[in-house]
Amino acid sequence: MHSLKYEAPSALGDAIALLAQASGTSRILAGGTDVIVQIETDLIEPELVVDIKKIPDLRGIAVENGAFRVGAAVTGMELMDHQAFCKAWPGVVDGVKLIGSMQIKGRATMGGNLCNASPAADSVPALIAAGAIVRIAGPNGAREVAVEHIPAGPGRTSLAKGEIIVSFAFPPRPPRTGDAYLRMTPRTEMDIAVVGVGVNIALDADGVCTAARVALGAVAPTALLVEEAGAALIGSRLDAPALDRLAQAAAAACRPIDDKRGTREYRVKVAGVLARRAALLALERARQNI
């Protein structure tokens, strides 16, 4: 029987020090929807759990210089109930809405969804497409990296010992921008993505795409930013040839596994189909966002 210690500091520096000085296995506790299951099923036996929910920096949704900053421990429901954020980033909210049941979203956080590092995490492709930056605090100071650089493989992140994701910084959201996230699951609800696609676009006044980011989930060991897929849309009005190029680029980027929820061939095919649909939804939203 291992001995577990629980700490819930209210200062970020104390949380970092506790994690940096821990000699054995330690875990950050935010929503706990993954970590607590792992502890209760003895998948992990940490000696230290640091609950970060009492640290104010991690809890709020704020606008800074015209752009959103979302604390890493903000729950899914808090985000879904934030009208201004939902209006600015409907695609990110699409992803968050798909993280488990309403009960799960009462606790689950985007920081946890990212750090649990499942290749199928629903908010992650949407965050990558959004161009969100994570602000990290650690024993060697603060740093900022793009969301796509955090997952390092299934269940692994690029965070160093003692580092904590504090918040997600989103870019400003000018008119004629829109994002969307779609996923394929065998069931309607309460399932894990077989493929997930996030698309974020900007249009000029004539409706021509000037910027596009496309990210895929569940088709590789980590969520992928697919630059070729974004490039396929830029300069187009998201017409049929551009959507064909998008679908081809998305499918070409897939390196999926074969498992009971989807074969390799199926995932590759669906990645192209979903990329197309997500792009059209992002287009519709960008046209409405004036």
Partner 1 sequence: MTRKYHVAATVNGDEYEYLCEPQQTLLDALRDELMLTGTKEGCATGDCGACTVMVDGAMICACLMLAVEADGKKIETIEGMAQGEDLHPLQRNFLELNGLQCGICTPGILIAAKVLLDRNPDPTETEVRYWLAGNLCRCTGYDKIIRSVLAAAREMRGA
Site residues for partner 1 per CB under 8 A: 1, 3-6, 8, 29, 31-33, 36-37, 39-41, 49, 51, 53, 75, 77, 100-104, 106-107, 188-190
| Min CB(37)–partner 1 separation in Å | 5
The residue among 39 and 134 lying less far from partner 1, judged by its C-beta, is 39
Query: Which two structure tokens, joined as six digits, stand for 150?
Result: 């955090």
* Residue with smaller CB distance to partner 1, 187 or 260: 187
Shortest gap between Cβ of 53 and partner 1 (angstroms)? 8
DSSP for 76-94, written as a single string: HHHHHT-HHHHHH-HHHHH
CB-wise, 31 or 138, nearer to partner 1?
Answer: 31
Radius of gyration of the chain (CA): 19
Task: State in angstroms the smallest separation of the CB of 50 from partner 1.
Answer: 12
For residue 274, the minimal CB distance to partner 1 (Å) is: 20
Identity of the residue, 34 or 148, whose beta carbon is nearer to partner 1 in the bound complex: 34
Closest to partner 1 by CB, 77 or 169 = 77
Instruction: Compute the least distance from the CB of residue 5 to partner 1, in Å.
Output: 7
For 73, the token pair is 């421990």
Distance CA 223, CA 193 (A): 12
Nearest to 58 by CA among 30, 36, 77, 26: 30
Residue 100 gets the label, from left (phi > 0), alpha (psi -120 to 50) or beta, of left
CB of 46 to partner 1, least distance (A): 10
Q: How far is CA 55 from CA 12, 120, 146, 165, 192, in A?
A: 6, 28, 23, 12, 30
CB of 244 to partner 1, least distance (A): 33
In the complex, minimum distance from the CB of residue 33 to partner 1, in angstroms, rounded to a whole number: 5
DSSP readout, 13-68?
HHHHHHHHH--S-EEEESS-TTHHHHHHTTS---SEEEE-TT-GGGT-EEEETTEE
Q: Indicate the residue among 100 and 138 with the shorter CB distance to partner 1.
A: 100
Give how far the C-alpha of residue 139 lies from the chain's centroid of Cα atoms, to the nearest Å. 24
Which structure tokens are listed for 222? 């980590």
Beta bridge partners of 168: 70, 134
Check: CB of residue 79 under 8 Å from CB of residue 73: no
HSE-up of 203 (CA within 13 Å, CB side)? Answer: 23
CA distance 135 to 264: 35
* CB of 36 or CB of 273, closer to partner 1: 36
> Of the two residues 103 and 140, which places its CB atom closer to partner 1 in the complex?
103
